[in-house]
Structure 1
Amino acid sequence: MRALAHPARLEILDHLSLIKDGATATECAELVGLSPSATSYHLRALAKVGMIQEAPSRGDGRERVWQVSFRNYAVGAERDAGAEEIAAEAAIVEAFLARQNERVRRYQTKARAEKDEFFDVATMTEQTLMVTAAELKELLTKLDELIAPLKRRDREEPPEDSRAVSMQIRAIPIV
């Protein structure tokens, strides 16, 4: 979990999970705003914990191409986790929330420049539900089924006017 608790690593992992052919350190560096050598360090850290792996070379074999090692991942400590695991979980949750919130903030600064069709449907909402754990599980399963065919990585030929959209759903008991 600690390997993921860095904004650049989360951004790199997200990028690699969305592309099929992988990316080099130089390509990832442009994305995260770091030098290729600093980005290589983060790529090696992700590889060390099995989150990414080397991809087939695209040409003469001199460049190192990286790809994700998974289709999906979830992060969480076990109920009986020790202090170190709980601290690692807290760090990744903070990094993940900061990244989500930064996406919302970036959109908000440019929202008025959006095309009407996207401006009119972009939303942030909170609904307070009264559900059992089984009902919540069923709801989340149905949402996953609705979202699955629209996921960027799996969509072979998206419509010409489609855009990448961050869909953030949080379902937690109110304490």
Structure 2
Amino acid sequence: MAEVGQERRQITDPKMMRALAHPARLAILEHLNSTGEPTTATEFAEIVGLSPSATSYHLRELAKVNMIEEAPSRGDGRERVWQSPAHSFQIDLEQGRGDPETRAAEDALMAVYLERDQARLRAFLSRARDEPQEWRDAAGLTTSTIFVTADELKTFLEQVHELIDPLKKRHRPEAPPDGARTVRVHFAAFPDD
């Protein structure tokens, strides 16, 4: 078995997908997966913008489907601390091919996921003019049309992941470099004929 937070998990169970198809739950899992830091319901409440009791409910729902688990106590044991058993999750779209329940769960999860990312992008674009010049120059939104085989696309995506991986928050646990900010990288590559 892999060390906590070191494995990449394939999600094939529609119950897991339905549990994740909520913005607060995605935010919880995103925080755990991006930082690797065990976190309490009260700390999550600030992240997801809900009360600690509402956040506790979402934590229990994620725990029911083994998306998160209790972490060792930080001290007196009075507060529950949560961690992710994986550093990332991937949905196996092949699973939903013949099963309407799985397909519906996949579609619901992907809709919530894409809406969150689109909302972040819209929020950035609405404030982009107020960003410092160096960040306006560094940020980008682009669409390119490429002509590739499936193998070439797979290799291309592997290369993108190799570039991103060492820059992930969880791989830079020491103090970030001066001037560093959290940056969201949203990347999609898909056939569009």
Query: Which TM class, normalised by the smaller chain length?
Result: over 0.9
The amino acid across from 2:86 in the alignment is F
Distance 1:33 1:11 in 2: 10
The question of 1:2 aligning with 2:18 is answered: yes
Q: Which structure has the highest strand share of the two?
A: 2
1:137 is aligned to 154
Find the partner of 1:54 among 56, 60, 70: 70
The amino acid across from 1:61 in the alignment is G
Distance 1:81 1:74 in 2: 19
Report deviation, 1:141: 0.7
The question of 1:117 aligning with 2:117 is answered: no
1:72 is aligned to 88
Distance 1:117 1:152 in 2: 21
Report deviation, 1:81: 3.2
Report deviation, 1:29: 0.9
- The unaligned stretches of length 5 or more in structure 1 are none
The Cα RMSD (Å) is 1.3
The question of 1:154 aligning with 2:171 is answered: yes
Distance 2:35 2:22 in 1: 21
Report deviation, 1:76: 3.1
Task: Please tell me whether the aligned partners of residues 36 and 84 of structure 2 are also in contact (alpha carbons under 8 angstroms).
Answer: no
1:95 is aligned to 112
Distance 1:79 1:88 in 2: 9
Distance 1:11 1:72 in 2: 13
Q: After the TM superposition, which of the residue ranges 11-20 and 158-167 deviates more from structure 2? A: 11-20
Residue-by-residue CA offset, 1:35-66 (whole Å, 9 max, x unaligned): 11111111011111111111111110000000
Which stretches of structure 1, 4 residues or longer, exceed 2 Å deviation after superposition?
18-21
- The unaligned stretches of length 5 or more in structure 2 are 1-16
- Greater relative contact order (CA < 8 Å, ≥ 6 in sequence): 2
How many pairs does the alignment contain? 175
**Percent pairwise identity:** 53
Partner SS for 2:177: coil
TM-score of the aligned structures, taking structure 2 as reference length:
0.86
Compared with structure 1, are the counterparts of its residues 130 and 161 closer, same or farther at alpha carbon in structure 2 (3 Å cutoff)?
A: same
2:29 is aligned to 13
